[in-house]
Amino acid sequence: MEGGTNLFSYVAGNPTTLIDPKGLSYLIFNRSTHTITLYYKDGRVVGEYPAYNNTISDSMAWPIGTYDYSHYNFHLESGPNDSYGSLGIFVFNVLNRSGMGVHSGQEDKDCGGPPCKTKGCIRTTEEAMSAILHTHFGDTWFGGDKLTTIRVNP
């Protein structure tokens, strides 16, 4: 194949540590680089965005691991400067935790959006949330490249 097709693109080129058993879109959060990357089901990168998991003192950060997508909450009452941003939250199943998700918000605060502390969630940008929404729901909100997992790396 000499530099041709990557047969492992569906797992971001890393078949020994990443899996995509459902064959749909997924997220990878890298704590050390403060980024979240959204991938299409075929392994192509949709985008990479700033993201942090800075938590308030009585909350815990996400554990390292892979977590299944649970559901989406819209948060109609919120805007880009509110706690959850204007585009809702994607919630994942994290053992012994509830409401662990990815959202935006706090853009006008001194901490500047993604670095602002949360109650355990990963905070990213409105741009990232828009990309996740569009990828997950597609143009019709009924049939996109459904989000399946998030992988949290050190």
pTM: 0.81
Distance linking the first and last C-alpha atoms of the chain = 33
Residue with token string 């938590």: 55
For 135, list phi and psi in degrees, rounded to 5. -70, -45
pLDDT at residue 13 in the model: 53
Q: In this structure, are residues 149 and 26 in contact, taking their beta carbons and an 8 Å threshold?
A: yes
Q: Domains of the chain by range and CATH?
A: 24-153 (2.40.440.10)
| H/E run at residue 52 | strand 45-52
Q: Which parts of the chain sit beneath pLDDT 50?
A: 1, 4-10, 15-22
**Chain segment 25-65, per-residue pLDDT in tens:** 999 999 999 999 999 988 999 999 999 999 999 999 999 99
Average pLDDT, the chain: 85
User: What secondary structure letter does DSSP report for 113?
Assistant: S
Say if strands 147-153 and 25-30 run parallel, antiparallel, or are unpaired.
parallel
CA–CA dist 29, 43 (Å, integer):
15
